Structure 1
Amino acid sequence: MNTRIAVLIPCYNEEKTIERVIADFQTVLPEARIYVCDNNSNDLTVERAEKAGARVLFESAQGKGHAMLRLFNSIDADIYVLVDGDDTYPAQQAPGLIAALKEKNAQMVVGDRLSNNTYKLQNKRKFHNLGNSLMNRLINTFFKSNIKDILSGYRVFDKGFVHNYASFAKGFEIETDLTLFALNYGLPVYEVPIDYRNRPEGSFSKLNTFSDGFRLIFTFFNLYRLYKPLSFFSLVALFLFLTGCFLGAFPIYEYMEFQYVYKVPTAVLALGLILMAALLLCCGLILDLITNIDRKNMKIKMKKYVVKYQ
């Protein structure tokens, strides 16, 4: 049985580039089926995608995350190639990503734009480079990983990843969510350096540097709480415990000095903070047990997706 390949292109107002993206992938991967998910475009994206020969799906909930999940949930294939519709990722490098998925037994292969500095050279929005560096450092530090390009939109997945992936991510934070999902469940991830090119003239990014940047940071800490609850709640509990001890030192000093506590509210607050720290630590322990059970269940589910590619 031949390997079925699906190229997935979530789109919002990409009439300037979508035809070229589809044509390039038709040339490079003639055996693949190409799907475009239109996310409420108000230009000619849909017409041009259909004219180029892609099958068009629709997602009314606004956001790249919604469009990508619509594609994941609607299409059955053995290998999925996820790419943006803005013509910034060369289709010519898709076979290399697919080959890495097969040869390295990976479940997600990421097109790494940063190692060869093409993203830094091509992207003209300075804060984007800073944001990429910040997210890479945060995730690699807290999840003890070595992912070089967390936010790349050029990825290849196997069937097991796609069929088991679930997310509440709505917009451009979806790439962060994909990466942390793989790291949390121990799914094999491999990176392949790729070239990146800036958007062609007349094509505009929908990414807002600051609002989407803050959303990425919020997404990271929310997923850190979800995937590493013991670590997250232990840090919060430690902060509350130390604050409680600091405040509690004043009533204790008063009692030792005067055999009377004048700062009763301070003593009550200190005790409350210490008790809250203990409760948070207990919550972290319970949630950590649930998370470990969930990871074991995921490993069991993944066994049936072992694929021999042809």
Structure 2
Amino acid sequence: MVDDSIAVNKDSLRDHNKNQRNYNGKKIVILLPAYNEELTIAETIKDFHSEIPEAEIWIINNRSKDNTELLANKTLKELRCQGGVMNENRPGKGNALRRAFYEIDADVYVLSDADMTYPAYHVHDLIAPVIDNKADMVVGDRHSSGHYANENKRKFHNFGNDLVKKLVNKLFKGNLADIMSGYRALNKHFVKSYPILVEGFEIETDMTLHALDKRFRVTEISVDYRDRPAGSFSKLNTFKDGFKVLNTISSILRYYKPLTFFGLASLAFFALGIISAIPVFNDWINYGYIYHVPLAILSTGLEMVSLILMSIGLILDSINHQDKRNFELSNLANIKRQ
């Protein structure tokens, strides 16, 4: 009985907060990338439309082989909802969002999955900091409340998420709880200055890295997370996506921290060169002559590789710094034009 009362009060509070929102005439779009989501797409659209009926809802149909497109169009028509369905034939969530970012113009962009895992009633909390100009990107944090850990039973998936999170926070001096959340609100400036170069589900990580690297304002809002309804299946594969996580970690270091990446590689080759040269040094000290000629050649080669790697790291670090400088200058120019 107590639980029912709490649920009713909570729903009433959400309705009250929803009615009190004022978006100051801002154009809001909700983007729902979808691949074979016929079981959930209609309810997802209805949920978001009921929460924020003035928003446009766009479904990016990413090569679905089921009735996702048909049901999406039917639901939008029944609700008389602004928006529509656009088809993206290049596979991957990154390609789907790239198409939407290029073609849709808005003040606030809300990203969500089309599988009913992210409750629509959090959309107002996500949008508010963007509308108030307090954040460029607001991330729906699934972890802090413990809902994601309770619903997601894939241990390797959780391990990969945690590994990437710790690395990103360490390298970028951040304190983010959820690097890979697919529930986000973005302002126009972020969307139109974000080059999407990834194709798949690593888009969320890449988006977070871009925000941190280019010093955009990032805020996290704790959100609930629900498991997919019966009959609906995740498109993620533990081992396949595990390799993607490892590749993501490598890419973070290579693209965003080149001096760290190539510096560590240079240090490894330098150490191997020293170890290989120990018998050579021993020959020279004891006999004044080098008997281990192959080891001398190997150690020399390893040290040369170490020097080259360090040089590459320094050059790319300088280029990376110049890229950040140019980005800041571009931001200032855009602000002046506005």
Structure 2 match to 1:39: 62
The aligned counterpart of 1:16 is: 39
The alpha carbon displacement at 1:86 in A equals 0.4
Structure 1 stretches lacking a partner, 5+ long: none
Instruction: Give the one of 301, 308, 319 matched to 1:279.
Output: 308
2:224 corresponding residue in structure 1 = 195
Q: Which residue of 1 aligns with 2:92?
A: 63
Q: Number of matched residues?
A: 307
Using the alignment, how far apart are the partners of 2:310 and 2:213 within structure 1? Answer: 21
Separation in structure 2 between the aligned mates of residue 304 and residue 118 of structure 1, nearest angstrom: 43
1:172 counterpart = 2:195 = no
Change (3 A) 1:56 1:95: same
Task: For residue 306 of structure 1, report the CA deviation from its aligned partner.
Answer: 5.6
Root-mean-square deviation (CA), in Å? 1.6
Moved more, 269-278 or 32-41: 269-278
SS in 1 for 2:265: helix
Aligned to 1:293: 322
Contact 2:35 2:63 in 1 (8 A): yes
Percent identity over paired residues = 45
Q: Which amino acid aligns with 1:18?
A: I
Which one-letter code corresponds to 1:118 in the other structure?
A: H
Once residues 290 and 282 of structure 1 are traced to their aligned partners in structure 2, the CA distance between those partners, rounded to angstroms, is 12
TM-score (norm 1): 0.95
Report the TM-score, using the length of structure 2 for normalisation: 0.87
The match for 1:4 is: 27
**Is residue 132 from structure 1 mapped to residue 161 from structure 2 by the alignment?**
yes
Taking the TM superposition and a 5 Å limit, the aligned residue runs for 1:1-310 are 2-53=25-76, 54-103=83-132, 105-303=134-332
Conserved in 1, the CA contact under 8 Å of 2:137 and 2:219?
Answer: yes
Task: In structure 1, give the amino acid aligned to 2:273.
Answer: G
Which structure's CA Rg is the greater one? Answer: 2
Alpha carbons of 1:199 and 1:261: their partners in 2 closer, same or farther (altered >3 Å)?
same
- Is the 1:224–1:232 contact (alpha carbons within 8 Å) kept by the matching residues of 2? yes
1:58-113: per-residue Cα shift (whole Å, max 9, x none)? 11111111111111111111110000000100110011011122346211110000
Cα displacement (A) at 1:233: 1.0
Distance in 2 (CA, whole Å) between partners of 1:224 and 1:101 is 30
Cα distance in 2 for residues equivalent to 1:159 and 1:142: 27
Q: Does the 8 Å CA contact 1:37/1:59 hold for their aligned counterparts?
A: yes
Unaligned runs of 5+ in 2: 1-23, 77-82
Query: Matched residues in 1 for 2:325 and 2:57: separation?
Result: 34
Distance in 2 of aligned mates of 1:102 and 1:240? 51
- For 1:235 and 1:222, the matched residues in 2 are separated by 14
Shift of 1:132: 1.8
With CA pairs under 8 Å and 6+ residues apart, which has the higher RCO, 1 or 2? 1
Structure 1 position 305, deviation (Å): 5.7
**Whole-angstrom CA distance in 1 between matches of 2:176 and 2:335:** 24
